[in-house]
Amino acid sequence: MFGGIRYEQAVYGSFPFWSKGYALLAASPGCPPAWRDALKRACGRFGERPAGVGRFRSVFAMPVDRSAWMVVQADSLGCDDQGRPGALAFHGLFVSSWSYRRAGACPLAFEPAFRTDWTASDQDAPLAQGRLKPAGLGGREEDAADPRVDSIVEALSRNRRVVVQTGEPADALLRSTWRRLSGRTRRATRAASWAFGNANGFDFLALPRLGSLVLDGTELVLAAGWTPPRS
């Protein structure tokens, strides 16, 4: 893939080196205000971290507008500047809809571009525009080992929302599912490998608790201990 996929980027979060609470840390010059605002809104809707949830990293992807997508890594930093636990950093990558399609329309394809090493010096200079060679989805060997994949693929292909309860980010499940989805379904699916609520309207959502969700009965809900129906 000559030249890779070009992306703009921005970082939003609560960091131990400042006293601003949640705010935008830095952005690349080509990241317009509308995209920065969209990132802040999406991160604000990520949900409140439940008690007992430890350190984690997860990823989510959703359209910014009709021409662009954002792919965001949520990273738990530990404590904020006041020593309070639960601080999060969100690294957002922005690509055209065509580039998202070119990357396989998979959030995990953007993992090589994500950073976690944010410091106070990042406030002093804008981030650079980046280029990315998307990560592959790997082979299919592990797909058959997860009995949830077939049901999830069928539901998403029929435009049903999928909610998965899990004690850790569901990157492996998302990867196995995306290997099986059609390109058309991938491009239409908002996905989060882990979040704490669904104010962002994800079509595929993994989360540690189901209690905070408002469900309408049309979703495929895979709670802890779920087993596939017998044929």
Query: What was the pLDDT predicted at 230?
Result: 64
Is residue 231 included in any domain, yes or no? Answer: no
Residue 141 lies in a domain: yes
What's the confidence (pLDDT) of residue 78?
74
228: in domain: no
The pLDDT, as a whole number, for residue 52 is 85
Containing structural domain, residue 127:
5-222
Domain annotation covers residue 157: yes
CA torsion sign for 113, 118, 123, 124 is: negative
Flag whether 43 is in a domain: yes
Q: pTM score > 0.85 for this model?
A: yes
Q: Are 197 and 42 in contact (CB under 8 A)?
A: no
What pLDDT, on the 0 to 100 scale, is given for residue 141? Answer: 58
Residues 5, 130 contacting (CB under 8 angstroms)? no
* Residue 182 phi, psi (nearest 5): -70, 155
pLDDT per position in the chain (231 positions), as tens? 446 899 999 999 999 888 888 999 999 999 999 999 999 999 999 998 888 888 999 999 999 999 999 999 999 987 677 777 778 999 999 999 999 999 999 999 999 999 999 999 998 889 999 999 998 877 665 556 789 999 999 999 999 999 999 999 999 999 999 999 999 999 999 999 999 999 999 999 999 998 878 889 899 999 876 677 765
Query: What does the pLDDT read at residue 143?
Result: 57
The C-alpha atoms of residue 41 and residue 36 are separated, in whole angstroms, by: 9
Asked if 49 and 86 touch (Cβ cutoff 8 Å), the reply is yes
Q: What is residue 1's predicted lDDT score, i.e. its pLDDT? A: 40
Q: How many domains does the chain have?
A: 1
Let me know if residue 230 belongs to a domain: no
Task: Measure the CA–CA gap between 172 and 90, rounded to whole angstroms.
Answer: 21
DSSP of 16-85: TT-SS-SEEEEE-TTS-HHHHHHHHHHHHTS-PPPTT--S-EEEEEEESSSSEEEEEEEEEEEE-TTS-E
Residue 23 to residues 7, 18, 55, 70, 222: CA-CA distances in angstroms?
A: 21, 10, 21, 18, 34
Predicted local distance difference test score (pLDDT) of residue 11 = 97
Is 229 inside a domain boundary?
no
Task: Indicate whether 227 belongs to any domain.
Answer: no
d(C-alpha 57, C-alpha 79), whole Å: 15
